[in-house]
DNA sequence: GCCGTTTTCGGCCCGACTGTTTTCAGTCG
């Protein structure tokens, strides 16, 4: 999820005053950097893995460095990794890393990103040809020196050159929203191939990760070669990485090039295959360990028994049941620790728990449909109540409502509510928090509304202090009920206005405000880690679509799935509540 | 490098594909 960062752009471990300030993050980064360097020296992969694992153990531990008095006795931290930590704590730097840095040129590290090059091959290039950077690698390829090395050939040389050409041109990962249409397009292509019996997108996309580096499809067929050919012919393929009877790996031309893997399996293998390729990697490792303890072996094809026979399953449900586990939704399959949280699955938020949407727009501001049309569409979705929340006057580009127009709208909402059966329509606003930290409507007008959302849509680049002053103005106003899209981020495009989210969550807890998980796939704001913190602090969350049209009401599902990633309990999700409970929660003076 | 404790040595998740081989190592997911 995070961008991979390399030591070169990592910034110094020294603070401005030159004093060494070692925190947990630095220890984690150091361990990871050591692993990276060892990989390039062709070290034993298990040794490399041990350093990665130690970093992971620290990351996993919720405590800060100061709270960890037993850091050296944690499982996964031993003599070698412990020495690095001790070194860092005592001297502020790692002797081992220093040594490794002297042996490994900085320029080698980015080369790990070139497909087909791993630690061993890069080590060889360095040792045999003195390659120490992307530039020297390019020169060596152009001089045809690389193909002379044992283990390399003409083809490797060409592939490396092509990869160097594309270096930095392509983003590592694409946002979920950008992949969605590609998934749909590929689904249609698969549907049209007669030899395909069924298919399922898996991978991090199925886990509703906000960014994915590729797409993985499991395809059930009896004729993999035919399907392989048909896919290659029907898709806008701009490159093929691997092609066989079991898999096809291609790069597909979309808005951005997208890497797509297809795995061909039989009907019996389907459940095991989708589990395997949905991951996460760490989840799979954990599952395999559990299998191993029982004398079994999990692969993408099934569960191998001690006698060599292979069990297959009708569904992922049955697969988990075989290990005496409940079904874990893809969204919670993360670092493997989820397997210890089976008792929380019962209360985990599910799409069918949602009974309202508290943030949507109509033709009154920048929406596409009328109040009645939105309400009727929500009724179709089975909701019991909704809030109409058009923009306020400051947002001119969105035709924001003046106080006069808002009063007119209130009348119209009341009227629509009395006319449309089967759903309660509430009056609200999405009111701007202005750049000067005042609110767009006065208290008197706000008191006439059922639900007040406050949001920032302007002057994102203000210093954090000012942004927080604005958010505080909203949070501390007794009429404001919720802060929408609290950071203003657009995934993969912009970071938003970078508030101090931890502080905002504290305030929300203190002033009894709701924070939004905006379900628009472009936003998914708040992000996962903040949702976890909000849950810890007992701050209620509303999952809202912010729909500007009837079609966008379907964003709700993505929002709920994303919320599962943060293990949100349905009881803390405001829009699972009944209308009565919702109104009594709001219960402010009117 | 780390772990276990019916193991202090011998594992560490598992399999497909590629490119370079003439039987397999390396990379990748």
Q: Which residue is nearest to nucleotide B27 (CA to C1')?
A: A116
pLDDT at residue A14 in the model: 38
Nucleotide nearest to A115 (CA to C1'): B27
Structure tokens at A466: 């000012």
Separation between Cα atoms, residue A560 and residue A18, nearest integer Å: 46
Handedness of CA A64, A66, A67, A70 (dihedral sign): positive
Mean pLDDT of A524-541: 95
pLDDT at residue A255 in the model: 82
Confidence label for A3 from pLDDT (cuts 50, 70 and 90): very low
Q: Which of A7-11, A52-56, A84-88, A490-494 has the lowest mean pLDDT?
A: A7-11
H or E element at residue A216: strand A215-221
Q: Which of the pair, A350 or A114, is modelled with greater confidence?
A: A350
Handedness of CA A306, A309, A310, A314 (dihedral sign): negative
CA A245 to C1' B19, whole Å = 18
Q: How many residues does chain A have?
A: 590
Nucleotide nearest to A83 (CA to C1'): B1
Q: Is the pLDDT of residue A20 over 60?
A: no
Contact in structure between A178 and A492 (CB atoms under 8 Å): yes
Mean pLDDT of A505-515: 97
pLDDT at residue A271 in the model: 95
Task: Report, in ranges, which bases of strand B sit under 7 Å from a protein C-beta.
Answer: 1-4, 11-21, 25-29
Mean pLDDT of A107-124: 85
Q: Is the pLDDT of residue A561 over 50?
A: yes
Q: Is the pLDDT of residue A481 over 90?
A: yes
Nucleotide nearest to A51 (CA to C1'): B1
Mean pLDDT of A133-142: 88
Query: What is the per-residue pLDDT across A377-429, written as a single tens digit (0 to 9) for each?
Result: 999 999 999 999 999 999 988 999 999 999 999 999 999 999 999 999 999 99
Q: Is the pLDDT of residue A463 over 60?
A: yes
Nucleotide nearest to A296 (CA to C1'): B13
Nucleotide nearest to A259 (CA to C1'): B29
Query: What is the per-residue pLDDT across A152-189, written as a single tens digit (0 to 9) for each?
Result: 888 888 888 888 887 767 777 899 999 999 999 999 99
Q: Which of A16, A140, A76, A70 is nearest to A335 (CA)?
A: A76
CA A42 to C1' B21, whole Å = 21
Nucleotide nearest to A248 (CA to C1'): B17
Diameter of chain A measured on Cα atoms? 82
CA A553 to C1' B6, whole Å = 60
Nucleotide nearest to A155 (CA to C1'): B19
Q: Which residue is nearest to nucleotide B4 (CA to C1')?
A: A75
3-state secondary structure of A234: helix
CA A99 to C1' B9, whole Å = 29
CA A55 to C1' B13, whole Å = 19
Separation between Cα atoms, residue A470 and residue A466, nearest integer Å: 6
pLDDT at residue A588 in the model: 52
CA A235 to C1' B25, whole Å = 33
Instruction: Provide the b/e sequence for A496-519 (b: ≥16 CB within 10 Å).
Output: bbebebeebbebbbeeebbbbbbb
Q: Which residue is nearest to nucleotide B24 (CA to C1')?
A: A151
Mean pLDDT of A191-218: 94
Q: Highest mean pLDDT range out of A11-20, A55-64, A95-104, A321-330?
A: A321-330
CA A42 to C1' B10, whole Å = 21
Confidence label for A546 from pLDDT (cuts 50, 70 and 90): very high
Q: Which residue is nearest to nucleotide B3 (CA to C1')?
A: A76
Tokens 């009881």 — which residue? A571
Full 3-state SS string of A466-510? HHHHHHHHHHCCCCCCEECCCCCCECCCECCCCCCHHHHHHHHHH
CA A136 to C1' B5, whole Å = 51
pLDDT at residue A549 in the model: 93
Mean pLDDT of A520-538: 95
Contact in structure between A214 and A251 (CB atoms under 8 Å): no
Q: Which of the pair, A102 or A410, is modelled with greater confidence?
A: A410
Mean pLDDT for all residues in chain A: 89
Mean pLDDT of A29-37: 88
Mean pLDDT of A237-258: 89
Separation between Cα atoms, residue A74 and residue A525, nearest integer Å: 34
Give A273's contacts (C-beta < 8 A, 6+ positions apart): A202, A218, A263, A265, A300, A301
Q: Which of A39-43, A254-258, A341-345 has the lowest mean pLDDT?
A: A39-43
Confidence label for A12 from pLDDT (cuts 50, 70 and 90): very low
CA A319 to C1' B27, whole Å = 29
pLDDT at residue A168 in the model: 66
pLDDT at residue A160 in the model: 87
């Amino acid at each position: 999820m995070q961008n991979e960062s390399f030591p070169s752009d990592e910034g110094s471990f020294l603070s401005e005053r030159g004093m060494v300030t070692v925190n947990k993050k630095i220890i984690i980064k150091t361990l990871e950097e050591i692993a990276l360097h060892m990989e390039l020296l062709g070290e034993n992969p298990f040794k490399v893995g041990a350093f990665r694992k130690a970093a992971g153990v620290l990351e996993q531990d919720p405590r800060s460095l100061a709270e960890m008095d037993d850091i050296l006795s944690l499982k996964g931290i031993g003599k070698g990794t412990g020495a690095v930590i001790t070194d860092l704590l005592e001297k502020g730097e790692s002797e081992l890393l220093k040594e490794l840095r002297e042996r490994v040129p900085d320029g080698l590290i980015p080369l790990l990103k070139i497909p087909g090059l791993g630690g061993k091959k890069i080590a060889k290039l360095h040792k045999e040809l003195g390659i120490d950077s992307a530039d020297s690698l390019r020169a060596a390829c152009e001089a045809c020196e690389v193909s002379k090395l044992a283990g390399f050939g003409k083809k490797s040389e060409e592939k490396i050159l092509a990869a160097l050409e594309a270096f930095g041109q392509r983003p590592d990962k694409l946002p979920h929203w950008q992949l969605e249409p590609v998934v749909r397009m590929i689904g249609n292509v698969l549907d049209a191939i007669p030899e395909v019996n069924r298919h399922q997108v898996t991978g991090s996309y199925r886990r509703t990760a906000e960014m994915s580096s590729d797409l993985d499809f499991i395809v059930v067929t009896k004729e993999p070669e035919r399907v392989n050919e048909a896919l290659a012919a029907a898709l806008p393929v701009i490159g093929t990485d691997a092609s066989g009877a079991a898999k096809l790996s291609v790069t597909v031309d979309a808005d951005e090039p997208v890497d797509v893997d297809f795995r061909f399996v039989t009907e019996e293998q389907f459940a095991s295959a989708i589990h395997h390729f949905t991951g996460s990697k760490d989840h799979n490792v954990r599952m395999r360990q559990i299998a191993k303890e029982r004398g079994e072996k999990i692969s993408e094809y099934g569960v191998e028994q001690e006698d060599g026979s292979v069990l297959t399953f009708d569904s992922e449900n049955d697969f988990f049941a075989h290990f005496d586990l409940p079904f874990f939704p893809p969204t919670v399959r993360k670092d493997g620790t989820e397997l210890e949280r089976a008792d929380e699955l019962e209360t985990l938020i599910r799409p069918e728990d949602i009974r309202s949407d508290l943030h949507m727009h109509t033709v009154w501001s920048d929406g596409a449909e009328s109040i009645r049309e939105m309400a009727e569409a929500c009724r179709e979705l089975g909701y019991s109540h909704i809030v109409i929340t058009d923009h306020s006057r400051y947002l001119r580009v969105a035709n924001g409502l003046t106080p006069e127009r808002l009063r007119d709208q209130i009348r119209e909402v009341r009227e629509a509510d009395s006319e449309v059966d089967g759903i309660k329509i509430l009056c609200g606003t999405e009111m701007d928090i202005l750049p000067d930290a005042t609110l767009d409507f006065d208290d008197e007008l706000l008191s006439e509304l059922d639900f007040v959302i406050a949001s920032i849509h302007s002057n994102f680049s203000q210093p954090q202090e000012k942004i927080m002053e604005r958010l505080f103005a909203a949070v501390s106003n007794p009429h404001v009920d919720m802060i929408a899209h609290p950071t203003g981020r657009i995934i993969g495009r912009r970071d938003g206005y970078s508030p101090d989210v931890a502080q905002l969550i504290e305030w929300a807890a203190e002033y009894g405000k709701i924070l939004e998980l905006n379900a628009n796939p472009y936003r998914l704001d708040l992000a996962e880690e903040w949702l976890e913190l909000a849950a810890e602090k007992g701050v209620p969350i509303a999952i809202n679509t912010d729909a500007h049209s009837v079609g966008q009401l379907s964003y709700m599902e993505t929002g709920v799935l994303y919320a599962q990633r943060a293990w949100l309990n349905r009881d803390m999700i405001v829009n699972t509540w009944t209308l009565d409970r919702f109104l009594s929660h709001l219960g402010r003076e009117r």
